[in-house]
Structure 1
Amino acid sequence: MGDFCLQCNEMNRSQKFARFLQLLEEASESVMYYDEIVSTVKQIQNIESLMIPIKFNPDQVFDERKHLVDAVAKTYLRKVTDDVQHLIPVEVVADGNCLYNSILLLMNNSMITTSELRVRTVIELVVNGAYYTRMYSQFIGLLDIAIKAICKNYTYSELYEIAALCNILRCNIRSIYPRIDFREDMEILNNSFRPTSPIIANCSITIFWSHVLNEIDVRAQNNMTWSPNHFVPLMSPPAYGDSDNISHQSVSKIVTPEKRTSKNNAPIQIRIPEFQSSPSRRRRSEHSSNTGFVQSAATDAIRETQIGIHEQRQSAIEQQINPNQENLVNETAEHRRIRLEKQKQRDQSNRSNETNEKRKIRLENQNQRTKSNRLHET
């Protein structure tokens, strides 16, 4: 590590943490990976100038000049508790570092990188491993396996990381998980995490478990089951008349800056069997804390847009459930002519084979229906 420290003198902050993460990943690939990771963590901790606690004063209010609404996450937000449905899911890069990207968006500090947050998370989990094992291993799985996965950049995060970030940021984190496909650990995934004593939280944030694809597409790719592969932060809508964040006119159009891209069509690997068929393991959590946010006129606009999205989604589901109806809608004029001609031929054939008695009954029934229809005409 001596040579590495000499290199550090020629690096800036982000380069140093990128190098630390590279060393941790190399350690995680060895046979005795946990011992190697612990050794690397101790050497990183010796560089005290970089281990100063992060000052985290998160932005709490959505600002259309800086933020984009995550349109897909907003559809999932309809399936959470009422007290957070007024919050706005904000677009972040879906590259596997989405939990850390969410923190950086709230932090608004260009000095901090996802590599630094990931390295600090590994250090926190190693140093206080006994606590995290006692508190979460029965829900998530073995801590050493989790740490091994976290050492690899762009690996999807889960419950251990959320809990560790509370200490790193000195912050309460509320975890919101959509109520889709009921699971026994749903209450754990919807929970609040706080720093361990004696650390006192000086702020609170809300993180939402989401997906880069809509529910129908996820189920189509995942054997009709749904599991998350993305995190986004939830922010409060701007208070009506808050000129520092948004104008009066644009408040009513808070849904305007939506980015309706498909993001990553390829599902991101997830570290837990229940979540997706990927090479990892793990879960989620949270409870209730910082949701006394001011509801504004933006709420109505958001809900109206959500209703429209819901109607489109319901239409798509109905078409999947009723493929015959969908085929009729999509048939060409030529196909329709052929279908009606065949139906006419079948009717004529049936009539030619019917007896005089059956024909008499059919005509009488038809005559009665005609009279009934005329009586009901306005």
Structure 2
Amino acid sequence: MSAINIRNIDDRSILFKFSNGSLEVTIRQGDISKEICDAIVNPTRVSMYPSGGLDEIMHKAMGKLFDDQVSAVSQEMKENACPVGQSRIFVAKNSQNPNVALFVINTVGPVYQTEEKEKSAFLLQSCYSTSLQLANLYSLTSIAYPAISCGANRFPPQEAAQVAIESVRQYSCNVKDVRFVLYERPIYDAFVKEWTDYAEKINQAATTTRSTIDERSRFRIASRSSFDSIRDCILCDEQQLPPDREHLCIKCSELTRSRIFDRFLQRLCIAAETSLHELKKACKLLKPILNYYPLVYAPIQKFDQSIHKRDVAAEYYVQNHCDKQFRNSMPVAVVGDGNCFYNTFLKLSGAGATTEASAVTSVELRARNVVELVLRLNEYINKYASLEMILDSFEDYVRKEMVHDTHFASIWDLLSISTVLNIDVISVYPKVNGDEDIHYQLLNGKLFSPLINKHATYDTKSKITTLTGVNHVKILFTNCNKQLKIANKKEDWMPNHFVPLLSLR
């Protein structure tokens, strides 16, 4: 399964389509002023007074209504009309000029400074984040960008494309159609190359492990007669352990937390290629590493509009197809990159998901969940026996999907994540297909709780177990797009995305 599908439309345009339908990115060589979409982003000056280039072209193409709005703000605010890195939105389409974009979003890109390239990149990212925030605020779904700052402001196209990729990935939210309409061929080629490299990197991570045949052979554990005899590092399997070390060599222990779990998941992937039995042995071998990296998870419970972005498509399902008890909740936008299930929990963790300063990643949560589920599979099957009819084959799923970064999660992931994070998880499933939908019947309002709750205290005299300070997360099965009704035909609706629900009060 590829996380991003790449399609060459012709020699002047290419499409990058995220496989769960959450985002389409088109790069096209052409004239952006003629693009028909919800919003076109127009690079301008801090005064917003046009002084040539694309800004001048946009004013002529968009007509008097747009020009009058910009002029009014420019005359009143002068050099403070739009600071560098900020954006302003204006109406463009009207009865006198119907064949243009609905809105134009003015933004002021930075002048590239080699000695301050980090600051230049920050300000360029701000152009993307503020323009996408406006697009989301106005519930727009399509937006077109030029190569901001790549002209007179001398921003290197390769670096600008890298900023654009990271920005779109983080801030697009409900904007599902992002276009880069680039006039000059060298800039077009640079953007195509960077997006292609990014997509291929994601796809490689989703389908393969980056290890050589020698590495795969070295990582095989089946031939080992006994785990007790191992005196090599259990992560790299290269360095011998000194007498004062039990599991990790010095070299591996100096790796960052995220790199540790990248390697951890890679080991699981390689083991899974052989058999489920081999994967189980790998989980047993690697599990001690988890003790070196404590995970303390305290999820946010309330929606804060100054911090969280709403997911408009998910909000549609909450308000129109979810039970009333969930309609006082707000769905929070999560990137649809194949890791949305794990990103849902990270989204609510803030900065305090771990006792260390380094951040927990989706790769770490996935690796921990694989270990937990594989090693205690029978316990979870017994606890959630009622879900048997909607569970896929475990061996096929865990070996081909669950161990791979950016592969989509299934109900199996839900069974054990509550134990990994020591929280209660409540799943919410929209009743789009009606009361007879078996997934709605079994998953809506379903409580997933830890096998052993670490917040539970047992009073030996009263023989009563008390739960203290148990956190919970509500997770919504949703779709990146609103339901489409075609005549009287109603096709079965299927979710392809997860987002968290936060309380509004």
TM-score range, shorter chain: 0.5 to 0.7
**Do residues 144 (structure 1) and 395 (structure 2) align?**
yes
**Do residues 19 (structure 1) and 254 (structure 2) align?**
no
CA deviation string 1:12-49 (max 9, x = no partner): 1111001111121222222xx21221121122113254
Residue aligned with 2:348, SS: helix
**Do residues 34 (structure 1) and 276 (structure 2) align?**
yes
> How far apart are the structure 2 equivalents of 1:233 and 1:146?
24
> How far apart are the structure 1 equivalents of 2:257 and 2:431?
40
> How far apart are the structure 1 equivalents of 2:293 and 2:490?
45
Higher helix share: 1
Does the C-alpha gap of structure 1 residues 51 and 42 become closer, same or farther in structure 2, counting only changes over 3 Å?
farther
**Do residues 205 (structure 1) and 473 (structure 2) align?**
yes
Residue aligned with 2:364, SS: helix
**Do residues 192 (structure 1) and 447 (structure 2) align?**
yes
Matches within 5 A, 1:336-355: none
Residue aligned with 1:234, SS: strand
Counterpart of 1:133 in structure 2 is 381
CA deviation string 1:321-367 (max 9, x = no partner): xxxxxxxxxxxxxxxxxxxxxxxxxxxxxxxxxxxxxxxxxxxxxxx
Does the C-alpha gap of structure 1 residues 3 and 143 become closer, same or farther in structure 2, counting only changes over 3 Å?
same
Does the C-alpha gap of structure 1 residues 28 and 189 become closer, same or farther in structure 2, counting only changes over 3 Å?
same
> How far apart are the structure 2 equivalents of 1:10 and 1:196?
33
Q: Give the gaps of 5 or more residues in structure 2.
A: 1-233, 240-247, 352-357, 457-466
**Do residues 119 (structure 1) and 367 (structure 2) align?**
yes
Contact 1:121-1:164 within 8 A present in 2 as well? yes
Does the C-alpha gap of structure 1 residues 179 and 236 become closer, same or farther in structure 2, counting only changes over 3 Å?
same
Contact 1:125-1:147 within 8 A present in 2 as well? no
Residue aligned with 1:56, SS: coil
Counterpart of 1:9 in structure 2 is 253
> How far apart are the structure 1 equivalents of 2:261 and 2:341?
17
The alignment's C-alpha RMSD in Å is 2.4
Counterpart of 1:349 in structure 2 is none
- TM-fit CA distance, 1:158: 2.0
**Do residues 156 (structure 1) and 389 (structure 2) align?**
no
Contact 2:310-2:332 within 8 A present in 1 as well? yes
Counterpart of 1:77 in structure 2 is 318
AA aligned opposite 2:447: S
Residue aligned with 2:298, SS: coil
Higher strand share: 2
Contact 1:45-1:51 within 8 A present in 2 as well? no
> How far apart are the structure 1 equivalents of 2:347 and 2:291?
24
- TM-fit CA distance, 1:180: 1.1
Q: Rg bigger for which structure?
A: 1
Q: Percent identity?
A: 28
TM-score by length of 1: 0.57
Contact 1:73-1:89 within 8 A present in 2 as well? yes
AA aligned opposite 1:146: Y
> How far apart are the structure 1 equivalents of 2:303 and 2:439?
30
CA deviation string 1:121-149 (max 9, x = no partner): 00110121111222346231333233222
AA aligned opposite 1:210: T
Does the C-alpha gap of structure 1 residues 125 and 211 become closer, same or farther in structure 2, counting only changes over 3 Å?
same
- TM-fit CA distance, 1:209: 0.5
> How far apart are the structure 2 equivalents of 1:198 and 1:22?
29
- TM-fit CA distance, 1:164: 0.6
Residue aligned with 1:209, SS: strand
CA deviation string 1:150-193 (max 9, x = no partner): 10111111222112111111111110010011322322111111
Contact 1:132-1:143 within 8 A present in 2 as well? no
> How far apart are the structure 2 equivalents of 1:43 and 1:65?
44
Residue aligned with 1:47, SS: helix
> How far apart are the structure 2 equivalents of 1:3 and 1:42?
19
Does the C-alpha gap of structure 1 residues 48 and 115 become closer, same or farther in structure 2, counting only changes over 3 Å?
closer
AA aligned opposite 1:196: L
**Do residues 227 (structure 1) and 494 (structure 2) align?**
yes
Counterpart of 1:283 in structure 2 is none
Does the C-alpha gap of structure 1 residues 188 and 170 become closer, same or farther in structure 2, counting only changes over 3 Å?
same
Does the C-alpha gap of structure 1 residues 130 and 11 become closer, same or farther in structure 2, counting only changes over 3 Å?
same
- TM-fit CA distance, 1:65: 2.3
Residue aligned with 2:426, SS: strand
Q: Which has the higher contact order (CA 8 A, sep 6+)?
A: 1
AA aligned opposite 2:407: T
- TM-fit CA distance, 1:77: 0.8
Residue aligned with 1:231, SS: strand
> How far apart are the structure 2 equivalents of 1:48 and 1:104?
18
Does the C-alpha gap of structure 1 residues 223 and 44 become closer, same or farther in structure 2, counting only changes over 3 Å?
farther
- Count matched residues: 233
